[in-house]
Amino acid sequence: MARRGIVKKLTHLDGEGHARMVDVGAKEVTLRTAVASATVRIGEELHALIVSRRVPKGDVLGVARIAGIMAAKRTSELIPLCHPLALDSVEVMVTLEANAVAIRASVRTTGRTGVEMEALTAASVAALAFYDMCKSIDRAMVIERVQLEEKHGGKSGAYTRGVRSRRKADSRGK
């Protein structure tokens, strides 16, 4: 796969192009963290019901938070070829904003592989759970911008959304 003149090896494919689980046994055990986010756009009526605590299904923000935590813990069952990980910490914040619900999931482990997929799964499932709890009120909700915000640890180093990696820029000769 070529991107900006860089050829990257797809680690989930063997020499014949078949999907495989990556062997992480030789990787160094390090602290690994990831943060992901998602946004659910909502209408005024739903916003008012949440503020006044009158959503018929109850604490929709709390349910979304718990769903995200549970999902992070089961990522390897949902995403093919993900390693099952012993997570040290999962935090999911679900915050009501003016016309949206903001979700931020932080995951941490000490291990041989990163937790980006666990953070992204937590944010995604929290958004889906919120949608499920509120769909009878607002079917026009939109789940958007599910994205990795940052990751730390491991051989590839740190990533922060919107910050250009110096190491990668240097390797391209820029």
CA distances from 44 to 29, 81, 100, 110 (A): 47, 41, 9, 42
In this structure, what DSSP letter does residue 171 have? H
Active-site annotation holds for 132: yes
Long-range contacts made by residues 59-62, C-beta under 8 angstroms, separation at least 24?
Answer: 60/130, 60/133, 60/134, 61/94, 61/95, 61/96, 61/101, 61/130, 62/94
Q: Which of 14, 23, 59, 132 is catalytic?
A: 132
Helix (H, G, I), strand (E, B) or coil at 159: strand
Catalytic residues: 132
